[in-house]
Amino acid sequence: MFVKNDEEKVAIVGVGHSKFGKRLDVNMNELAWEAIKPAIQEAGITQRDIEFYSVGNFGYWSEEILPAVTIGEYAGLKCGSLKTEAACASGSASLKIAMDSILAGKSKIAMAMGIEKMYNSPNSTIIELIGRAGNYFWEFENFGMTFPGYYALYATKYLDEFKSSEEDLCEAPVKAHHYGSLNQYAQFQKETTVEECMKSKYVSRPLKLMDSSPITDGAAALILARGDVAKKLTDTPIYIESQGYATGTAYMGRRDNYLGLEASRRATESALRGAGLDGIGTNFDLFEVHDCFSIAEVMAYEDVGIAARGEGIKLLKDHQTYHDGKFPTNLDGGLKAKGHPIGATGISQAVEITKQLRGEAGRGRQAQINKGRALQHNVGGTGHYAYVTVYSRGD
Amino acid sequence: MFVKNDEEKVAIVGVGHSKFGKRLDVNMNELAWEAIKPAIQEAGITQRDIEFYSVGNFGYWSEEILPAVTIGEYAGLKCGSLKTEAACASGSASLKIAMDSILAGKSKIAMAMGIEKMYNSPNSTIIELIGRAGNYFWEFENFGMTFPGYYALYATKYLDEFKSSEEDLCEAPVKAHHYGSLNQYAQFQKETTVEECMKSKYVSRPLKLMDSSPITDGAAALILARGDVAKKLTDTPIYIESQGYATGTAYMGRRDNYLGLEASRRATESALRGAGLDGIGTNFDLFEVHDCFSIAEVMAYEDVGIAARGEGIKLLKDHQTYHDGKFPTNLDGGLKAKGHPIGATGISQAVEITKQLRGEAGRGRQAQINKGRALQHNVGGTGHYAYVTVYSRGD
């Protein structure tokens, strides 16, 4: 890795996170402000200092059809902006845009946020719209696939190939809910058990309700600054070292196999290369992975490379992805327990990583920070999009 | 303006444009390919050379809910991507993202495209969705505003303040249709007259059907390359010198006045500053402005600064914005006659500017190129978003 000047770096200097859950008590602008306000305060800046902002939002169910505008106005921002969508990786896309704006010399301080307000829509609308987030023409309209159905194909193949069980998959929500119970922003702040998971209804066999991330309202925000500016604003800048991204086929029938997501693997390789690392090794203190379903978490372990193919389940069962394990992962409760407000998820993961790398995650959740480096894995669709981002304290 | 190295520049090296109009003969992916294919061919590259692409798309009416993915797959692209929305300025937002990706050092070649497929939806859906592109809560739901209604407020004020007439506004579609008649990609390739315009039905008084841009299906694409790469790919790179952007209030009731769009003015100032210019002067050979309604074209003249406040109508009536006038504007027929496929419009404007600066616009449409510089003005909503971009041959 070549050495960069401060002017060639981007760091997170402030983060904010709304309470995730069923948030019928606020409208979209108010929900956004719950995340933006603390981010601005933490950074010690005012709205005027923000020169560009991007909003990650899927939003087909929203009443406000130009969310970046109404949110910006409510938050007192007058600079340029845009909305971005990369399905469930919209938050990472938002991060890319704000980061690139700084690296391109267009802004010194920019905001990347993400938001989704889903509970205002009827369930049937949400199920249809998420179902269409595959290939509409071939799979939704012709075969009636729903979104859990896509991941159920992967789960079926995985369980068969590696002689694993539904009970094994249920270890994922057990971990997620454990950490969710310790996270004040999480949608579900209670523990669960393998038994409770096994008793929950099938959503799409073999995936059950407790294998599935919920419908969530939520927002998260990051204030980004150019390296030299960041150093003036904070003693604990968290640098974005690199980002890798890839797009995968939308046709499930064209996937090579159902034992992982090719786009995740390509994005990870690219992110590691960008950070000057030759592999996962012991380079990372912490991981955030896209666990929209139990099987997604297991595949993520393998795609990112903290487990060999077929060994993700074992890693989970051995508690190696708990906070005191070898590869601490999703210590915020993940999409499963923290919640999955689509456009906000990628930013929420970055907020968690920032707090962890600063050592502010709190009792029972804080990972041991040695290398000062973390990796985020954020998937859109079923690997239609993959964004992998490497963060560091810059030690 | 400080001198930039080639590595610090971005240039357009290939453009593509679909036929605009009612395109029920193709699906979204096929429509996109009509623009992507010629852009790639012109640039003399293959799909593999594209390292990132962004898709400008409003898209609430689309069946394909992840257009960037399905389009990329159909076009043979495997790199990272995202969709962006900045209302009717989505195309310019797409350009910003692809350009910043290059300037940020993330890609050497990137594609910025825009697309909209509107005719598949019922008219009532389109009218509702565009109407909601203001402030949903206050103006659409409570007052029943439609989108033409917003611009009609501006037209009413303007005509009253500057003692102009509806006949005067009709000069805008006369010019637009004249150039549309010469543009093979335009939705309406026929001339019109002030009389015909005056006889057309009111959409929202004082704006008539012929004052209004149409519903359009269409796509446009740009291949962008870092300056040093661009020089190897083409003898006629068109550089993006600068871009300015601003966000305006979504509440019409909070606008300072109805005699122009504040966001347009701020974005223009910023773009000119970025290009090292102290004003419009005689610095530009060509303009593309956002003429979604006749009044929008007139206000754009004044906001961009080719006419003083209240004198835009005179500029139009004196034919100073025709190809042989002082400030040639929208020589492709503009949104009015070429068509206005929302997410594609900003890219379509850039395609036109590229062809004009290369001297390839053709008989009757080609502006005289002296300074080798052009300005693009692209508005989202009624000034909710404004993006202004400066292009040059780099003479």
Q: Which residue of A has its CA nearest to B61?
A: A60
The alpha carbon dihedral of B87, B88, B89, B94 has a sign of positive
A250 neighbourhood in chain B, CB within 8 Å: 66, 69-70, 73
Residue contact B80–A385, C-beta within 8 A: yes
Calculate how close chain B gets to A86, using CA atoms only, in Å.
5
Is-contact B69 A250, C-beta < 8 A? Answer: yes
Whose tokens are 């959409």? That residue is: B203
Cβ–Cβ below 8 Å for B251 and A73: yes
Rounded to a whole number of angstroms, the distance from the CA of B25 to the nearest CA of chain A is 16
Query: Any catalytic annotation for residue B170?
Result: no
B78 contacts in chain A (CB < 8 Å): 246-247, 266
A48's CB contacts (< 8 A; 6+ apart) are none
User: pLDDT tens-digit profile of B165-197?
Assistant: 999 999 999 999 999 999 999 999 999 999 999
Burial of B301 (0-12, 13-18, 19+ CB in 10 A): buried
Taking only the tens place, the pLDDT of each residue in B100-125 is: 999 999 999 999 999 999 998 888 88
Q: Which of B64, B247, B266 sits opposite A72 (nearest CB)?
A: B247
Chain A residues near residue B64 by CB distance under 8 angstroms: 132, 135-137
Q: What gap in Å lies between CA A126 and CA A188, rounded to an integer?
A: 20
Contact B66 A99 (CB under 8 A): no
Domain that holds residue B93: 6-122+218-233
* Structure tokens belonging to residue B308: 């003083």
SS3 content of chain A, % helix, strand, coil (to 5): 40, 20, 40
Any domain includes A299: no
Q: Is residue A42 part of a domain?
A: yes
- Backbone phi, then psi, for B257, in 5-degree steps? -155, 180
Domain total of chain B:
1
Mapping DSSP to helix (H, G, I), strand (E, B) and coil, where does residue B316 land? helix
Whether residue B351 is predicted with pLDDT greater than 90 in this model: the reply is: yes
Domain assignment present for residue B282? The answer is no
**Which residues are paired to B80 by β-bridges?**
B52
Domain-embedded: residue B64: yes
Residues of B in contact with A27 (CB under 8 A): 137
According to DSSP, the residues that pair with A386 across neighbouring strands are A246, A379
Q: C-alpha B100: how far from its chain's center?
A: 19
The total number of residues shown for chain A amounts to 395
Both structure tokens of B21: 């109009």
B70 and A103 within 8 Å at the Cβ level: the answer is no
Average pLDDT on B20-46 reads 97
User: B247 and A105 in contact by Cβ < 8 A?
Assistant: no
pLDDT of residue A319: 98
Residue A2 has a pLDDT of 59
Q: Which of A261, A262, A266 is nearest to A292 (CA)?
A: A261
If we measure between CA atoms, which residue out of A357, A296, A295, A285 comes closest to residue A323?
A285
d(CA B182, CA A221): 48
- Are A16 and A37 a contacting pair, CB within 8 Å? yes
Yes or no, beta carbons of A84 and B85 under 8 Å apart: yes
pLDDT in tens, chain A (395 residues): 457 899 999 999 999 999 999 999 999 999 999 999 999 999 999 999 999 999 999 988 777 788 999 999 999 998 999 999 999 999 999 999 999 999 999 999 999 999 999 998 888 888 888 877 777 777 777 677 788 999 999 999 999 999 999 999 999 999 999 999 999 999 999 999 999 999 999 999 999 999 999 999 999 999 999 999 999 999 999 999 999 999 888 888 888 889 999 999 999 999 999 999 999 999 999 999 999 999 999 999 999 999 999 999 999 999 999 999 999 999 999 999 999 999 999 999 999 999 999 999 999 999 999 999 999 999 998 899 999 999 999 98
Strand partners, A286: A374
Q: Which residues pair with B82 in a beta bridge?
A: B54
Q: Are strands B218-226 and B207-208 parallel, antiparallel or unpaired?
A: unpaired
CA-to-CA distance for A120 and A185, rounded, in angstroms?
20
* Distance (Å) of CA B14 to CA A240, B37, B108, B346: 32, 10, 14, 16
pLDDT (average), residues B122-148: 78
Question: What share of chain B in percent tops pLDDT 70?
Answer: 99
Nearest CA to A95 out of A350, A278, A310, A367 is that of A350
CB contact under 8 A, B69 and A87: yes
**What is the average pLDDT across B361-389?**
96
Q: Smallest CA–CA separation between B73 and chain A, in Å?
A: 6
Structure tokens at A27: 């409208």
Which helix (H) or strand (E) segment holds residue A79: the answer is none
Residue A200 burial (CB < 10 Å; 0-12/13-18/19+)? middle
Q: How is chain B split among helix, strand and coil, in percent rounded to 5? A: 40, 20, 40
- Evaluate whether A210 touches A337 at the Cβ level (below 8 Å): no
Q: What is the mean pLDDT of residues B289-303?
A: 98
Q: Which residues contact B223 (CB under 8 A, 6 or more apart)?
A: B12, B13, B14, B15, B39, B40, B42, B43, B45, B50, B109, B110, B111
**Rounded to the nearest 10 degrees, how much is the dihedral formed by the CA atoms of A184, A188, A193, A198?**
-160
Whole-prediction pTM? 0.96
The residue written with tokens 């889903």 in the block is A118
Locate the chain B residue with the closest alpha carbon to A388: B80
* A102 neighbourhood in chain B, CB within 8 Å: 104
Whether B246 maps to a domain, the answer reads no
Strands B52-56 and B109-116: parallel
ipTM surpasses cut 0.90: yes
Q: How many CB pairs under 8 A join A and B?
A: 179
CA angle A347, B89, B20 (to 5 degrees): 125
Rounded Cα distance between B226 and A70, Å, is: 34
- Rounded Cα distance, A313 and A67, in Å: 39
Distance, first Cα to last Cα, chain A: 14
Rounded distance, CA A13 to CA A234, Å? 6
- pLDDT tens digits along B241-253: 999 999 888 888 8
Catalytic residues of A: 88, 340
Per-residue pLDDT, B1: 47
**CA distance linking residue B362 with residue B176, whole number of Å:** 16
Chain B interface test: which of A101, A247, A378 (most B C-beta within 10 Å): A247
CA gap B127, B197 in Å, rounded: 22
Q: What is the pLDDT of residues B221-274, one digit of tens each?
A: 999 999 999 999 999 999 999 999 998 888 888 888 899 999 999 999 999 999
Sign, Cα dihedral of A289, A83, B243, A234: negative
Beta carbons of B54 and B94 less than 8 angstroms apart: yes
Helix (H) or strand (E) holding A217: none
Question: How close, in Å, is residue A205 to chain B by CA atoms?
Answer: 25
Please check whether residue B70 lies inside any domain of the structure.
yes
Residue B85: inside a domain: yes
Residue B204 has pLDDT above 50, yes or no: yes
Contacts of B79 in chain A (CB under 8 A): 245-247
* Rounded Cα gap, residues B93 and B240, in angstroms: 14
- Nearest CB neighbour to B104, from listed A68, A83, A103: A103
| Identity of the residue in A60, A66, A137 whose CB atom sits nearest the CB atom of B87 | A66
Chain A residues lying within 8 Å of B82, measured CB to CB: 84-86, 90, 93, 96-97, 385
Of A77, A93, A267, the CB nearest to B247: A77
CATH number of A102's domain = 3.40.47.10
Judge whether A159 lies within some domain: no
